Amino acid sequence: MGFIAVLLFTANGFASDYVPEDLKIGGGNQSLETLKAQFFKTTDRDQQVIIVKMIAKHTSDEKYKVLAEIAEFDIRTDKLGNFCHPDAVQAALDAMILTKDQKYESTYFNILNKFDNTKVRITAAKGLAMIGSPNMVPKLVNMVKNELSYAAFREDNQKMVADDMVVEAIITALGDIGDPRAFPALLQVVTLQNHRFQTIQAAWAAMEKIQW
Protein backbone atom coordinates (compact mmCIF):
# COMPACT_ATOMS: atom_id res chain seq x y z
CA MET A 1 0.00 0.00 0.00
CA GLY A 2 2.87 2.35 0.78
CA PHE A 3 4.29 2.04 -2.73
CA ILE A 4 0.92 2.84 -4.34
CA ALA A 5 0.47 5.84 -2.05
CA VAL A 6 3.82 7.26 -3.13
CA LEU A 7 2.86 6.99 -6.79
CA LEU A 8 -0.47 8.72 -6.12
CA PHE A 9 1.24 11.56 -4.33
CA THR A 10 3.53 12.15 -7.31
CA ALA A 11 0.47 12.57 -9.51
CA ASN A 12 -0.74 15.39 -7.26
CA GLY A 13 2.06 17.90 -7.55
CA PHE A 14 4.82 16.35 -5.45
CA ALA A 15 8.35 15.70 -6.70
CA SER A 16 8.49 12.67 -8.96
CA ASP A 17 10.59 10.76 -6.42
CA TYR A 18 8.61 11.91 -3.37
CA VAL A 19 8.45 9.68 -0.30
CA PRO A 20 6.76 10.89 2.92
CA GLU A 21 9.32 12.05 5.47
CA ASP A 22 7.68 10.18 8.35
CA LEU A 23 7.11 6.96 6.38
CA LYS A 24 7.94 3.70 8.16
CA ILE A 25 7.97 0.37 6.34
CA GLY A 26 7.53 -2.75 8.46
CA GLY A 27 7.17 -6.37 7.45
CA GLY A 28 10.68 -7.58 8.22
CA ASN A 29 12.62 -9.45 5.54
CA GLN A 30 9.52 -10.19 3.50
CA SER A 31 8.81 -6.57 2.60
CA LEU A 32 12.53 -5.76 2.39
CA GLU A 33 13.11 -8.53 -0.16
CA THR A 34 10.04 -7.36 -2.09
CA LEU A 35 11.47 -3.85 -2.31
CA LYS A 36 14.86 -5.19 -3.37
CA ALA A 37 13.33 -7.40 -6.06
CA GLN A 38 11.26 -4.49 -7.37
CA PHE A 39 14.35 -2.28 -7.55
CA PHE A 40 16.23 -4.73 -9.75
CA LYS A 41 13.25 -5.04 -12.10
CA THR A 42 13.38 -1.42 -13.25
CA THR A 43 15.88 1.01 -14.75
CA ASP A 44 13.52 3.97 -14.39
CA ARG A 45 15.21 6.76 -12.43
CA ASP A 46 12.19 7.85 -10.37
CA GLN A 47 11.14 4.30 -9.53
CA GLN A 48 14.65 3.39 -8.40
CA VAL A 49 14.97 6.48 -6.20
CA ILE A 50 11.52 5.95 -4.66
CA ILE A 51 12.33 2.34 -3.82
CA VAL A 52 15.72 3.23 -2.31
CA LYS A 53 14.09 5.91 -0.17
CA MET A 54 11.49 3.37 0.95
CA ILE A 55 14.21 0.88 1.87
CA ALA A 56 15.87 3.63 3.91
CA LYS A 57 12.56 4.05 5.78
CA HIS A 58 12.36 0.33 6.57
CA THR A 59 12.37 -0.60 10.25
CA SER A 60 14.82 -3.49 9.82
CA ASP A 61 18.55 -2.86 10.26
CA GLU A 62 19.08 -5.35 7.43
CA LYS A 63 18.10 -2.50 5.12
CA TYR A 64 21.68 -1.21 5.14
CA LYS A 65 22.98 -4.42 3.57
CA VAL A 66 20.43 -4.01 0.80
CA LEU A 67 21.36 -0.35 0.33
CA ALA A 68 25.05 -1.31 0.14
CA GLU A 69 24.26 -3.97 -2.47
CA ILE A 70 22.40 -1.40 -4.56
CA ALA A 71 25.09 1.26 -4.15
CA GLU A 72 27.87 -1.06 -5.29
CA PHE A 73 25.94 -3.10 -7.85
CA ASP A 74 27.18 -1.36 -11.00
CA ILE A 75 30.79 -1.54 -9.82
CA ARG A 76 30.63 -5.24 -9.00
CA THR A 77 28.94 -6.05 -12.31
CA ASP A 78 31.01 -3.63 -14.45
CA LYS A 79 27.87 -1.76 -15.50
CA LEU A 80 29.13 1.60 -14.13
CA GLY A 81 25.97 3.67 -14.20
CA ASN A 82 24.17 1.61 -16.82
CA PHE A 83 21.71 0.02 -14.39
CA CYS A 84 21.55 1.86 -11.06
CA HIS A 85 20.79 5.52 -11.63
CA PRO A 86 23.33 7.79 -9.87
CA ASP A 87 20.48 9.46 -7.97
CA ALA A 88 19.45 6.06 -6.58
CA VAL A 89 23.04 5.34 -5.53
CA GLN A 90 23.17 8.81 -3.97
CA ALA A 91 19.99 8.14 -1.99
CA ALA A 92 21.41 4.83 -0.76
CA LEU A 93 24.65 6.48 0.37
CA ASP A 94 22.79 9.33 2.08
CA ALA A 95 21.12 6.75 4.32
CA MET A 96 24.17 4.51 4.79
CA ILE A 97 26.68 7.13 5.89
CA LEU A 98 24.52 8.10 8.86
CA THR A 99 25.27 4.71 10.43
CA LYS A 100 29.02 5.50 10.62
CA ASP A 101 29.47 1.73 10.36
CA GLN A 102 33.03 0.68 9.58
CA LYS A 103 31.94 -2.47 7.74
CA TYR A 104 30.89 -0.29 4.80
CA GLU A 105 34.23 1.47 4.34
CA SER A 106 35.23 -0.81 1.45
CA THR A 107 31.92 -0.04 -0.24
CA TYR A 108 32.53 3.69 0.12
CA PHE A 109 36.07 3.43 -1.19
CA ASN A 110 35.07 1.31 -4.19
CA ILE A 111 32.42 3.86 -5.12
CA LEU A 112 34.81 6.74 -4.56
CA ASN A 113 37.45 5.07 -6.72
CA LYS A 114 35.33 3.74 -9.57
CA PHE A 115 31.93 5.42 -9.82
CA ASP A 116 31.52 7.96 -12.61
CA ASN A 117 29.50 10.64 -10.82
CA THR A 118 31.09 13.48 -8.89
CA LYS A 119 28.32 13.99 -6.33
CA VAL A 120 28.17 10.27 -5.54
CA ARG A 121 31.95 10.07 -5.15
CA ILE A 122 31.99 13.09 -2.83
CA THR A 123 29.33 11.47 -0.64
CA ALA A 124 31.36 8.25 -0.51
CA ALA A 125 34.35 10.27 0.71
CA LYS A 126 32.11 11.84 3.34
CA GLY A 127 31.13 8.34 4.46
CA LEU A 128 34.79 7.47 5.03
CA ALA A 129 35.28 10.72 6.95
CA MET A 130 32.31 9.97 9.21
CA ILE A 131 33.67 6.51 9.99
CA GLY A 132 37.06 8.02 10.84
CA SER A 133 38.91 4.75 10.33
CA PRO A 134 42.58 4.86 9.24
CA ASN A 135 42.27 1.66 7.17
CA MET A 136 41.74 3.44 3.86
CA VAL A 137 44.29 6.22 4.40
CA PRO A 138 47.03 4.71 2.16
CA LYS A 139 44.55 4.25 -0.68
CA LEU A 140 43.16 7.77 -0.25
CA VAL A 141 46.68 9.21 -0.21
CA ASN A 142 47.48 7.36 -3.43
CA MET A 143 44.40 8.83 -5.09
CA VAL A 144 45.46 12.35 -4.13
CA LYS A 145 49.14 11.96 -5.02
CA ASN A 146 48.84 9.84 -8.15
CA GLU A 147 45.50 8.72 -9.53
CA LEU A 148 43.75 12.11 -9.43
CA SER A 149 46.83 14.31 -9.76
CA TYR A 150 47.37 16.39 -12.89
CA ALA A 151 50.77 17.85 -13.80
CA ALA A 152 49.07 20.72 -15.61
CA PHE A 153 45.70 21.32 -13.97
CA ARG A 154 43.32 23.52 -15.95
CA GLU A 155 40.18 25.19 -14.62
CA ASP A 156 38.61 25.08 -18.09
CA ASN A 157 38.86 21.28 -18.28
CA GLN A 158 35.58 19.82 -17.04
CA LYS A 159 36.99 16.39 -16.15
CA MET A 160 39.93 17.88 -14.28
CA VAL A 161 37.62 20.13 -12.29
CA ALA A 162 35.27 17.24 -11.48
CA ASP A 163 38.19 15.06 -10.37
CA ASP A 164 39.56 17.90 -8.29
CA MET A 165 36.23 18.30 -6.51
CA VAL A 166 36.62 14.65 -5.54
CA VAL A 167 40.19 15.34 -4.39
CA GLU A 168 38.88 18.14 -2.19
CA ALA A 169 36.40 15.71 -0.60
CA ILE A 170 39.16 13.13 -0.07
CA ILE A 171 41.41 15.74 1.53
CA THR A 172 38.59 16.80 3.84
CA ALA A 173 38.12 13.15 4.79
CA LEU A 174 41.85 12.75 5.45
CA GLY A 175 41.71 15.77 7.73
CA ASP A 176 38.75 14.36 9.63
CA ILE A 177 40.53 11.01 10.02
CA GLY A 178 43.65 12.84 11.22
CA ASP A 179 46.21 10.17 10.30
CA PRO A 180 49.80 11.53 9.92
CA ARG A 181 50.30 9.36 6.83
CA ALA A 182 48.19 11.90 4.95
CA PHE A 183 50.74 14.69 5.45
CA PRO A 184 52.92 14.02 2.33
CA ALA A 185 49.85 14.15 0.09
CA LEU A 186 48.64 17.37 1.70
CA LEU A 187 52.11 18.86 1.37
CA GLN A 188 52.14 18.01 -2.33
CA VAL A 189 48.81 19.77 -2.84
CA VAL A 190 49.80 23.03 -1.15
CA THR A 191 53.27 23.21 -2.71
CA LEU A 192 52.65 22.14 -6.31
CA GLN A 193 49.26 23.93 -6.39
CA ASN A 194 47.99 21.98 -9.40
CA HIS A 195 44.49 22.19 -7.96
CA ARG A 196 41.53 24.49 -7.50
CA PHE A 197 41.82 27.15 -4.79
CA GLN A 198 39.15 25.32 -2.74
CA THR A 199 41.18 22.11 -2.79
CA ILE A 200 44.36 23.85 -1.68
CA GLN A 201 42.47 25.53 1.14
CA ALA A 202 41.06 22.15 2.18
CA ALA A 203 44.61 20.78 2.33
CA TRP A 204 45.73 23.60 4.64
CA ALA A 205 42.73 22.94 6.88
CA ALA A 206 43.39 19.18 6.88
CA MET A 207 47.00 19.72 7.97
CA GLU A 208 45.79 21.41 11.13
CA LYS A 209 43.66 18.38 12.00
CA ILE A 210 46.45 15.80 11.80
CA GLN A 211 46.92 14.01 15.11
CA TRP A 212 50.68 13.73 15.46
pLDDT per residue as tens digits for the range 163-188? 999 999 999 999 999 999 999 999 99
Decide if pLDDT at 109 tops 90: yes
d(CA 108, CA 192): 28
- Cβ 85 vs Cβ 73: under 8 Å: no
> How large is the average pLDDT for residues 109-131?
96
Position 9 scores a pLDDT of 47
Outline where the chain has alpha helix (H).
2-10, 28-39, 45-56, 63-76, 86-96, 105-114, 118-131, 137-142, 158-177, 183-192, 197-209
Tell me the CATH number for domain 135-212.
1.25.10
Tens-place pLDDT, residues 84-98 = 999 999 999 999 999
Closest CA to 135 of 93, 85, 179, 99: 179
The alpha carbon of 192 is separated from its chain's Cα centroid by a whole number of angstroms, namely 28
Conformational region of residue 193, where left means phi above 0, alpha means psi within -120 to 50, and beta covers everything else: left
Task: Check: CB of residue 108 under 8 Å from CB of residue 125.
Answer: yes
Residue 124 has pLDDT above 80, yes or no: yes
Identify which of 150, 151, 143, 138 has the alpha carbon closest to the alpha carbon of residue 122: 143
Mean pLDDT for the chain? 91
The rounded Cα 4 to chain-centroid distance in angstroms is: 28
Do 56 and 45 form a contact (C-beta atoms < 8 A)? no
CA distances for 131 relative to 101, 143, 176, 178, angstroms: 6, 19, 9, 12
* Proportion of the chain above pLDDT 70, given as a percent: 92
Residue 76's pLDDT band, with cuts at 50, 70 and 90, is: confident
Domain residue spans of the chain = 1-133, 135-212
